[in-house]
Chains A and B, each alone.
Chain A
Amino acid sequence: MTTSREAMTADATAAIGTTSTEYPIEFTGSGSEYFRIWIVNLLLTVVTIGIYSPWAKVRRLQYFYRNTQLADSVFDYHGSPIALLKGRLIALVLVGAYVAIGYVSITLALIILCGLAAALPWLIHRSFRFKLFQSSYRGLRFRFNGDLGSAYRVVLIPLLMVGGPVALAGLLGKRDDLEDAGALVVGVLGLVALIGYTLLPKFHHAFKRYQHGHAALGTTGAAFDARVRAFYSIYLKTAGIGVLVVALLVATVGVGLVYVVGVRDVREDNTGSRFMLLLMVGSVLLLVAFYFALQFVLAFFNARLQNEVWSHTRLGETTFSSTVAARTLAFLYMKNLLLILLTLGLYTPFAVINTLRYRLQAVSAITVSDIDSFIADARPGENSTTGEGAVDLFGIDIAL
């Protein structure tokens, strides 16, 4: 097992004179080809009232993986639709039970909700294992070696600190007999939530470290050395851009109102209805503008986060570089949103492909050793379809 310390020595080796090679990722998927896969998936999912959706997911992922090339080889996805279907049925039963019981007894539903929250880290752990084990490159399976205890640490604490106070406040809000203690309780809950939100970048960092730091390809383990400070910087800058965008929108609305009310006296032409129409059009435009502005903030966050995370992930002696430009991604998002709206959603698969292409092709792998030298985990069954991960009775897939 290659440890992160060994990985660190890669730079030293490079300095001595071994030449490092850069392999850019190439994505060969096309929008028009994926459109056909997407629409057939959609049709079959509707016709089968959702039963087909695991098959659709496998087709979709296989299209993405097999069109992702690195050093003249593609990735592959091996997830079994039946396993995914079982996972989904279990999730459906759990959520259904929760909703149904919610009608009958709030207390019982709360107990179930707590149970679900307690099970969430386990589910995420399972889903990481499933997802990575079902992915391969050059015939070698990826693996996830993170332990369950760490999953609880990185998931449950943020969940309790950020989600807990909100849930508790909602619960206590329904009771009237707490009026005296109310202010104190609200204060404490608010403080916990505030600390939780302040620590959000740290939580996110810990989560990514858990996710990326415990991945492996064959016997080669990954390491993650991004700094918490970098996460704080991304979050703060995103918040700053968000504030700026909102301020800009508010200013635009202000100017618009002044124009409508002041400069052009709309009451002159005797129709209040025209004023109402103007107001309606204005608010729709504002909503659309807000949605577009949101894309900009989102693009900034996604671009910076991807760059930070991938530039600080190593797989043995292989490092990665990611150079997504926030501005390019933002314009891509906006173009996609516009075309999706104009085509009533039919542009969606094209949007998915062009976003994926941009984000994937911004990444390259840099290695001082040979990309041919990864070795499978030789423990019995670890790399075959009968391995530990494959005998999971059900596949849990949580998109993260």
Chain B
Amino acid sequence: MSITGVSARYYDGRSSRPLSVTLSVRAGQARLLGDGVELCFDLHQLRVSEPMARAPRLVTLPDGSHCEIDDHAGFAALLDQTGYRDSWVVRLQSSWRHVLAAVSGLAMLCAAGVYWGVPAAASVIARFVPMEYEASLGEQAMAWFDADLMQASKLPQADRDRLAGRFALMAPNADGRRYRIEFRSSRIGPNAFALPGGRIVITDELIAVAGGDEPALAAFAHELGHVHHRHVLRRLVASTLVASSAAVLFGDWSSLLAAAPATLVDLHYSRAMEMEADDYARELLVANGIPVQALVSLLTALEAAQSAERPAPGAGKAPPQRTPDLLRYLSSHPGTEARIARLLRQQP
């Protein structure tokens, strides 16, 4: 075996004085010689630091003392002789090709995580969230709405009782534990939404726009779909998940960047959830002998009410609003047209 010596600075661990030595390898033994140092060790007792372009490599001896080696080429040749191999992480790090593969792997992993992982995890986690907690969230939200945006309903009590009664026949609600319908009047206009814990809030304005019992019931059914799938809670869990993992991964530098994915993902989920709620509503309506048309006409009426609210620019007719694809991904509600088309298409 040939003997190749590499010069090194040896630190004995007792003082900060460098001792200049030569490191050589012979017959499975490493030898440090020079400056009053004469040491010999079995190769397997030594630890070798990972290579770095401009930092010295460190060889640590069993007693914790070590030497620093600046001669990278010479040391690499010496290591080669001993059959030493870098760890796979080091090999991965040192090649740009592997690193690029790792980057694309990471991107795909993140995408997969966002599309499948997060929703799946959210619905599993949501199952473990106690009902009491969900209900208290809903109560807080309701109190906030009542303080700020909502007034008591001006709808005649008889109408409210009739609608709630009919809906209770459609969707049995033992002890009022599944859902609770809240009638309110509000300046936010025609609207209906579900809160965590099963509260379904319907504005008087929506009932007026619906223009009949069946479209109003369709609105209830759609919101019950949200309640049934615990959508609000799942959205909450999902956005918390995405936000916290984004913060862990990228948050050491910019919270601005870390916040963006959560918002995008959140908007996307709510789209999927609208469709899920539509499906639930369709099944509930059909099972109770109400045509799907009730939901369709509700959606149409809502759309009409909204575009009437928008002041028409200029004198002419408003040009039909086309939503670009990117905006469609970003929009929280899927376009009404798309939802109507979907409902009609899936009709048995």
Number of residue pairs across A and B with beta carbons under 8 Å?
A: 139
Query: Given A384-B63, A385-B64: A137 and B253 within 8 A (CB)?
Result: no
* A351 CB-CB contact with B under 8 Å: yes
* A33 CB-CB contact with B under 8 Å: yes
* B106 CB-CB contact with A under 8 Å: yes
Q: List A contacts of B94 (CB < 8 A).
A: 36
Q: List A contacts of B55 (CB < 8 A).
A: 28-29, 63, 66-67, 74
Tell which of B9-17, B163-171, B270-278, B281-289 binds the partner.
B9-17
Q: List B contacts of A46 (CB < 8 A).
A: 106, 109-110, 113, 249
Tell which of A116-124, A221-229, A372-380 binds the partner.
A372-380
Could you tell me which residues of chain B, from 286 to 323, have a CB within 8 Å of some CB in chain A? 311, 313-314
Q: Would you call B53 and A384 a contact (CB within 8 A)? A: no
Q: List A contacts of B11 (CB < 8 A).
A: 73, 138-140
Q: List B contacts of A39 (CB < 8 A).
A: 99, 102-103, 106
Q: Would you call B16 and A140 a contact (CB within 8 A)? A: yes
Q: Would you call B49 and A62 a contact (CB within 8 A)? A: yes
Q: List A contacts of B15 (CB < 8 A).
A: 140, 218, 372-376
* B89 CB-CB contact with A under 8 Å: yes
Interface size of A by CB at 8 A reads: 56
User: Which residue of chain B lies nearest to A384 when distances are taken between CB atoms in the complex?
Assistant: B64
Q: List A contacts of B65 (CB < 8 A).
A: 139
Q: Would you call A340 and B254 a contact (CB within 8 A)? A: yes
Q: Would you call B109 and A139 a contact (CB within 8 A)? A: no
Interface size of B by CB at 8 A reads: 49
Q: List A contacts of B102 (CB < 8 A).
A: 39-40, 43
Query: Given A140-B13, A371-B16, A384-B13: A40 and B54 within 8 A (CB)?
Result: no
User: Which residue of chain B lies nearest to A346 when distances are taken between CB atoms in the complex?
Assistant: B103
Could you tell me which residues of chain A, from 338 to 356, have a CB within 8 Å of some CB in chain B? 340-341, 344-345, 348, 351-352
**Cβ of A175 to closest chain B Cβ, rounded Å:** 16
User: Which residue of chain A lies nearest to B102 when distances are taken between CB atoms in the complex?
Assistant: A43
Q: Would you call A372 and B16 a contact (CB within 8 A)? A: yes
Q: List B contacts of A337 (CB < 8 A).
A: 254
* B52 CB-CB contact with A under 8 Å: yes
CA distance A42 to B250 in the complex (A): 9
**Of residues B9, B52, B89, B94, which shows the largest number of chain A Cβ atoms within 10 Å of its Cβ?**
B52
Q: Would you call B54 and A50 a contact (CB within 8 A)? A: no
CA distance A40 to B102 in the complex (A): 7
Q: List B contacts of A385 (CB < 8 A).
A: 64
Contact partner of A345 (CB less than 8 A), chosen from B56, B257, B311, is B257
Q: When A and B form their complex, which 9 residue pairs have the shortest distance between CB atoms, in order from nearest?
A: A139-B11, A28-B54, A374-B16, A138-B16, A372-B17, A66-B55, A139-B13, A67-B55, A36-B93
Residues of B at the A interface (CB closer than 8 Å) are 9, 11-18, 49-50, 52-56, 58, 63-66, 68, 89, 92-94, 96, 99, 102-103, 105-106, 109-110, 113, 129-130, 133, 248-250, 252-254, 256-257, 311, 313-314
Beyond A43-B105, A44-B89, 5 additional pairs, beta carbon < 8 A: A43-B109, A66-B56, A271-B313, A340-B253, A372-B15
